[in-house]
Amino acid sequence: MMPKKRTRVGWKTCVFDVLGIVDERLSRLASKNIDGGIFAAFSLGGGTFNISILEISDGVIEVKAKEFDSSPRGEDFDLVLVEYMVEEIRRLILWMSLETK
């Protein structure tokens, strides 16, 4: 049984009427009380890169597109991000040292 179906069955067993199950990205965006616009919500958890394109209008969230890629592992992305940040910090330190001379 798929995870969302198991969740739905579990809640129905507890006598809840399940209208729908949303993923983490959508629920986080919905919790921000954003008035409207088009947003890209993404996550890099569990070894996959997930992205959803969402449009919010009049309190309604519509999922325009949703995709995932299991090839760029979360750890790989973390390494790239850390390397980028280290390089930016080095540039900032160099710039600051040149400014003080």
Measured CA to CA, the distance from residue 18 to residue 7 in angstroms comes to: 9
**Runs of H (alpha helix) within 1-101:** 3-13, 24-30, 74-99
Cβ atoms 27, 43 nearer than 8 A: no
State percent of the chain over pLDDT 70. Answer: 65
Q: Is the pLDDT of residue 17 over 80?
A: no
Across the range 62-90, mean pLDDT stands at: 79
Would you kindly state where each structural domain of the chain is located, as residue ranges?
A: 3-70, 73-101
Q: Which pLDDT score is estimated for 87?
A: 92
Q: Is the pLDDT of residue 6 over 60?
A: yes
Q: Which pLDDT score is estimated for 88?
A: 92
Strand partners, 41: 52
